[in-house]
Structure 1
Amino acid sequence: MDTRAYLFRMFIDNFMFVFLFYMFNTKIHKKKYWLMLLMVILKFFCDLFLEFTEFIPIIFGYYILKEEIEDKSVILNKVLFCILINKIIFISSSALMVIFMTSQNKVSYMYVLAQISIDYILAFFLLYVYNKFAIQSLIEKYSSNLTILLYTYIIIVVGFIGYTAHKREIFDQFVLGILIFLVLQTLFVSALFIWMTIKQKERYEQKIKNQELVYLKKYTDSLEKDQEQSARFRHDYKNLILSLKEKAEFSQDTALKEKIESLEHYSQPYLTDKFAYRYLKNVKNDYVKSLLISKLYTASQKYIHCTFECPNVIHNIPMDIFDFVRVLGILIDNALEAAEESEQKELAVAIYQDKEQLEISIINSCNQAKESINQLTKKGVTTKKGHSGLGLSNIEEINRKNENMFVNYQMEAEQFIAHVVLIAKEEDL
C-alpha cells in the first residue's frame, strides 16, 4: 500500500474508537471531547514507533469515564469493549476488502476510503444492535474482574496474531483466518463467561440462602424461647388463680370470688397456647418451623380457631426444602383466607412422618365453592377477588417435577381438605 495512504488509514482508524466510545457512552460531558482528540494524535505518533499502543485509549477512556461511573470494573469493561468492537470492525472490513478488491486496487486512496466506509457501515449496524438489545445495561450488570481478563485475553491474542501477520507480510492471506479465530474466541470466551457467571450466581444464591438460614434460626430460637417463657407464665398464672379461688371459697368471700372469676374469664383468651408449642418443638427444620410459627400467629391475629399436630419428630424432608416450604405456605395461606371468610373460622394442620413417608393434612372451614377442584388447580382460576389464581396451579407444577409427591384435594360440606404425601427417598431410608 502507498505509504501516505497507509498513514492516512492509520490516523482515521483512531477516530473509529472515538466514535464507538462516544456512541456507547452518550452521557459524557462535551468538554472532554478535546481529550479524545489529544488521544488520537498521541496514539498516531506512538503507532509509528510502537507495536502495541492499546494502553493509550484505555488510559484516556478510563480518565474520561471515572467521573461519570463509580465502579472501576464497569469503566474498564466499557473501554475494553470499545477496543474489541473496533478490532472486530477492522478485521471484518479487511476480510471484505480482500474478497472483493483486487491486488491492483490495494495501493490507492480509493481502497482506503472504501474500507473506511465499510468500517462505519459496520459501526452503525453494531450500534443498532447495541441499543436494540440494551447491551450497555448487560455490561453494567455483569462487569467484573473476570470480564476484564476475558476482554484483555481476546485483544492481546488477536493483536499478537495481527502483528505477526503484518511482520511476515501475510496479513491479507491470514485476515479471513484471523476473523474466524476472533469469532470463535469470542464465542468460546462468551460461553466460558456465561458458565462461570451461572456458577458464581449459584454460589452467591447459596451463600444468601445459608445467611438467611442463620438469621432464620436465630429468629426461630428467639420465638421458641419466648413461647417457652409464655408457657411457664401461663402455667404459673393458672395455678395462682386456682389458689386464689380456693382461698376465697375457704374464707367464703363472695365478692373476692366473683372478682377472681371475672379476672379468670377476662384472661382466658390470653392464656390459650395459640402456637401449640409442644408440637412445634418436633419440627427440627428451621425453614418449616419459622413458616409454621408465622402462619399460626397470623391465624391467631385473624381470630381463626387453629389446631396444629406433629406427634413425631420431623428431621428429613424428602424433597427440595424450598419447594416444600412453597407448597406448605400456599396451602396454609389458601386455608387461612377461606377460613377467615367462613362462619366457623376453623383450621387444622397436621404433619406426620415415619420411615416410609411424610404426610401433611390441612383442613379448613369454607363457604361452598362454585368451582370444582379440577377447575381450582388450573392456572388463573380462583374464588378470591383480586387474586391471580396461581396458588394451587403452582403446587401442581411442583408436583409434576417431584415423582415422590402426591397431592389430593377434597371438598366436603363447608370444609376443604388438602392432603400431601411425600414418599421417602432411598437416601432418606
Structure 2
Amino acid sequence: MLEYILNNGLYYVFVQNSSVFLVVYLFSGIKEKKSYFISSFFSVIMLTILYAHLNVWSLGLIWLTAVILDFIYIKKIHRAILFASLANILYIFANYVAGIPLSWGTGPFISSVEVLVAVGISIYLIIVLLLKKITTIVIKKVQVSERLVWMTAILSTITFISYFIIIIIERFGGEYSAMGKANEFFIIGYGLLSMLVFLALLYSLQKEYTAKEKQKEMTYLKDYTDQLEKNYTEMRRFKHDYQNILLSIEDYIKEKDLIKLEEYFYSKIKTASTAIEKNDFKLSQLGNLKVNELKSVLANKLSISQELGIDTEVEISERIEAIEADSIVLVRALGIILDNAIEAAEQIDNGMIRVAFFRKLNKLVIVVVNSCSKELPKLFELKKEGFSTKGENRGMGLSNLEQMVASTGNMMLDTKIDHGVFTQMLSIDEKK
C-alpha cells in the first residue's frame, strides 16, 4: 500500500492526513499511545488511497474516521467530535494561509507541492501547539462544564461543515477563480475571528472563575467570623454555667455533704471536662496558623466535623505566618479535601479526621487523614478523568483536583488508601 501511495504521488496527502491524526492525539491526551498510533497509521493509509478516487470528498471521511477512532480511546462522543472538528478546521485554515502566495502567483518555487505542504503543516502545528498551551493553562484553573464542551463541539462541527461546503463549491467552480479567492479570505478571516472569540471566551471563564473563588474566600472568612461569634457565645454560656457549678459546690461544702459532692464532681464536672478536652482543645493549635483565609476554612470545616460526631484533631506545632502558594487554589483544594473527608468519615462508625501542618526539606506539607469505607474504589479508578464518588458530573473528582493543584507549579497532591484510611498529602515548595 505504501508503494501504491509513492507511485501515485500521494505521499504529500499521507503526510497531511498523518498530521491531522497527530493533532487529534495532542488534543485528546490519549493514554494508549502505541495502540493509537498503530490504528491511526493504517487509517491514514486507507484514507490516502481513497483520496485518489474521492479527491476533496475524502476530507469528510477523514473527519468521520478521526471521530470514531478518538471515541474508541476516550469514550466521550462530544469530546471526540470536538477534537476531530478542531483538528480539521485548523488544518484547512493553515492550508489556506500557506496557499496565499500560490493564489497570488508569486513564482514556481512557491508553487511546489512539497514546499506548500511543508509550510502548511508547519503553520498547522505551530497554531495547534500555541492553542494547546493557552487552553491548558486556562482549563487547569477552570472547571469546564460538559455542557460547554458540547456547545463547543457543535459549533466546531458546524464550522467544519461550512468549510467543507465552501471547499467543494470552490473545487467545482475552479480552484483559482474569483470565488476561490473570496472563499480564501473568508476562511482565513473567519478562522482568525473564531480563534479570537475562543481566546476571549477562555479569558472570560478565567475571570469569572477568579471572581467566584474570591467570593468563596469571602464566604469562608464570614463562616470563620460566625464561628468566632458562636465560640464567644459558648464561652459566655460556659462562664454562666461555671458560676452555677461553684455555687453548687459551695452548698455541698457548707452542708459538709462529701458523698453528694463526690457524686456531683464525677457525674457533672468530670464529664464536662472530658467533653471540652475532646472537642475544643483538639482544635487549639489552629492558633498557630496565621493565614486567615486558610484558617477560616479549617475552623469552619473541622467544627462541622465535630458537630457531626467525628473524632477530629488538628496538629500545627509551629507558627505559620505565610504560605507561598496561590491562595485561591489552596483554599479551594483544602476545602474540597476536607469536604470529601467529612463525607467519608461520617459514613463510618467512630469515624475520624486528622489534619497536620509541618515543614520538611523546604516544603510545607499539609496532611489530611480520614477513615473511609473499605469498599471504596481502587486509587487508579478514583484518578480516572471525570470520576467522582458522588456520581457522574457531580463533585470534584481526584483527577480534576490533582490537575488544579498541579496548575500552580509549586504544589503537589499525593493520595494513598490503606485498610480503610484515606490519606491526602499536599506539598508546597517554599523558597529557601
- TM-score tier, shorter chain, comes to 0.3 to 0.5
Normalising by structure 1, report the TM-score: 0.46
Normalising by structure 2, report the TM-score: 0.46
**Larger-Rg structure:** 1
